[in-house]
Amino acid sequence: MSGIANALAGHLAKGEREKNSLQLCREFQQRAEDGGSPKRAETHFTASAIVVGPLGSALHLHKRLRLWLQPGGHIENGEEPWEAAEREATEETGLDLSHPASGPVLAHVDVHPAGGHLHLDLRYILIGRGEPRPAAGESRAVRWFSWPNAMAVAGDPGLVAALAAGWQWWRHNEAALGH
- Fold (CATH) for 3-173: Nucleoside Triphosphate Pyrophosphohydrolase (3.90.79)
For the chain, domain boundaries: 3-173
Tell me whether strands 142-145 and 117-129 are parallel, antiparallel or unpaired: unpaired
Cα gap 142→133, rounded to integer Å: 8
- 77-127 pLDDT, tens per residue? 899 999 999 999 999 999 999 999 999 999 999 999 887 889 999 999 999
Tell me the pLDDT of the chain averaged across its residues.
91
Helices 16-33 and 157-173, packing angle to 10 deg: 100
50 vs 58: CA distance, rounded Å: 8
pTM above 0.85, yes or no: yes
pLDDT band at 35 (very low <50, low <70, confident <90, very high): low
Helix, strand, coil distribution of the chain in percent, nearest 5: 35, 30, 35
Per-residue pLDDT of 45-64, as tens digits, reads 999 999 999 999 999 998 88
CA–CA dist 65, 105 (Å, integer): 27
pLDDT of res. 41:
63
